[in-house]
Amino acid sequence: MDQRKVKQTQFPLVDGHCDSIAAHLAGEWNITVGGGRLSLPMLRQAGVAVQFFACFVKGGGQQEPMLLRALELVEGCRSLIAENPADLCLLETAANLDKALATGQVAALLSVEGGGILGGKLFMLSLLHRLGVRSLGLTWNYANDLAGGVREPGGLTRFGRDVVREMNRLGMLVDVSHLSDPAFWDVLDTTGKPVIASHSCCRTLHDHPRNLNDEQIKALAGQGGVIGINFFTEFLTGGKAALGDVVRHVDHVCSLAGPDFVGLGSDFDGCESLPQGLEDASCLPALIEALLDRGYSEENTAKIAGGNFLRVIRQVLG
Ligand SMILES: [Zn+2]
């Protein structure tokens, strides 16, 4: 058992989604110390190699305040990284990912959730890229000028298609979590690179529009992408959930597509209720242990813990 525990920390973990930066900047608690579901000490202790930090901008409203809010969050992340150089670095390229893996720093991947902030302008993407943003969720739950969301249907617009192609060109991850089903298929039809579902579960296990159906999972995997299983109990079971329910969703993706296309997307500090045994980022090693106990080989556990996300990040960011 002890031997296994030592090995756990050797699997570099990747968490595809958290909303912790907003609460930190609002002063609700300090991410460098603790108080929320995720903190720098927890990430270091759990062996997290890459943490996606979502800059979430709620859909609707006027474009300009949304853009300002996104920039406030991006700048907040950059300041946090600059102030904590021993613990954090900005993940911009495969090369600096390698460096972070070697030094043990947590590589912070900045993602924006909600493409409405682009204001219909493609140049905004290269500007965000220059600021270090490497992932964009095209929508939140509602439609914008890029695409339909899960609560407001619609496909990918002409501008949305241009955005996907430009993101491919710049080396940014296209995130399909929150998209409507038609928009999901349009993205897969348009992209020339693998896409991610940073925080999504399986609709076959719990019928919720935020979850992906089997055909979507197979298609996303068929293009080499990765699905980060969301820990939100509402998506896992619709009611109470335990750590084993995350394992069930991992199992389901593996049963459809094999072990190369699934990862973790906690949604820490962004969802209202978490599974028993997975209350915060310090519990991540227990999830890895549960995968090993479930019978996953060390090789496949390493892929699920982070290797699959690392593959897609390297491939897309270059
Ligand atoms: Zn989300």
Could you read off the pLDDT of 95-145 as tens digits, one per residue? 999 999 999 999 999 999 999 999 999 999 999 999 999 999 999 999 999
Mean pLDDT of 253-271: 97
pLDDT in tens, 205-251: 999 999 999 999 999 999 999 999 999 999 999 999 999 999 999 99
For residue 6, report the distance from its CA to the centre of ligand 1, in Å.
Answer: 33
If you measure from the C-alpha of residue 2 to the centroid of ligand 1, how many angstroms do you get, rounded to a whole number?
Answer: 36
Contact 294, 151 (CB under 8 A): no
Q: How far is the CA of 140 from the centre of ligand 1 (A)?
A: 7
CA angle, 287 then 239 then 31, to 5°: 50
Mean pLDDT in residue range 81-93? 97
Quote the pLDDT of residue 60. 53
Are 80 and 87 in contact, with CB atoms under 8 Å apart?
Answer: no
1 C-alpha vs ligand 1 centroid, how far in Å? 36
pLDDT single digits (tens) 30-60: 999 999 999 999 999 999 999 999 999 875 5
Q: State the distance from the centre of ligand 1 to the C-alpha of 201, rounded, in angstroms.
A: 12
CA of 176 to the centre of ligand 1 (A): 10
Instruction: Look over the chain and give the mean of its residue pLDDT values, rounded to a whole number.
Output: 94
Cα 309 from Cα 311, distance rounded (Å): 5
Ligand 1 geometric centre to CA of 5 (Å): 31
Per residue in 163-207, pLDDT (tens digit) is: 999 999 999 999 999 999 999 999 999 999 999 999 999 999 999
Rounded distance from Cα 111 to ligand 1 centre (Å)? 11
Distance (Å) from CA 110 to ligand 1 centroid: 14
Q: What percent of the chain has pLDDT over 70?
A: 95
Cβ density class 93-122: b for 16+ within 10 Å, e for less: eeeebeebeeeebbbbbbbbbbbbbbeeee
> Looking at the domain covering 14-317, what would its CATH class be?
alpha beta
What pLDDT does residue 7 have?
Answer: 47
| Tokens encoding 216 | 């979507």
Cα 102 to averaged position of ligand 1 atoms, centre (Å) = 30
